[in-house]
Amino acid sequence: MLKFQLQKRELFECELSIDGIDYEKLTPRLVLIPEIVGGKKFQFEGTFKDSKCYVPVFLDEHPTKNGIAILEVTIDDSEYIEPWKSTYEVYSLSSVVKTEARTSSMVKKSIVENKQPTNEITIPDVSKSEIRRIIDAIDEIKNREKTKAKQENIDEELLSKVDAILAKLH
């Protein structure tokens, strides 16, 4: 499977062996066909040097995340071959938000979504307005918890710790 990062210049490379062909006259093209019918198709032209094919790829807009990649090689103006196919995946760098959760016994516990030992979870492609909406919802819950805590006489030190955690999110 090929993997391409959104907004990053990458180079697709391969070696093609065709007897009796002048590679300098060949034109390689990498075609990304989305798995969703009607999705936007992308084509990238490249070059050959000896028997090696080089196709620069830059995805500046968000294509369909998965699909089929096909290498087309134009032999002359009227003939081309498809010597290679594979699935592809497009990914983007994502926003990172730090958070902590409380268990029922009020013990802090890290939520970890990635494999690195951190207190971070990765949330892909989240806009600032969406993050603001989430933080506002957390603030509303926190305010409700404060009111409830006062009614039930819960330890104020715990609530100040929650406030400190939320302040880091702002």
CA 29-7-111 angle, 5° bins: 130
CA distance 164 to 60: 38
- The whole-chain average pLDDT of the chain stands at 76
135 or 85: whose pLDDT is higher? 85
Question: 119 with 100: CB under 8 angstroms?
Answer: yes
pLDDT digits (tens, 9 = 90+) for 90-125: 888 763 344 444 444 333 333 344 444 444 555 556
Residue pair 9/56 in contact (Cβ under 8 Å)? The answer is yes
Q: Where exactly are the structural domains of the chain?
A: 2-91, 95-169
What is this structure's pTM? 0.53
The CA-atom distances, in angstroms, between 108 and each of 94, 100, 101 are 25, 7, 6
Give the E-state strand segments of the chain in sequence order: 2-5, 10-15, 27-34, 42-45, 47-49, 52-57, 66-76, 79-91, 95-98, 100-102, 108-110, 120-123
**Which one-letter DSSP state was computed for residue 152?**
H
Q: Which fold has domain 2-91?
A: Immunoglobulin-like (2.60.40)
Give the pLDDT of residue 170. Answer: 64
- Give pLDDT tens digits for 50-88: 889 999 999 887 667 889 999 999 887 778 899 999 999
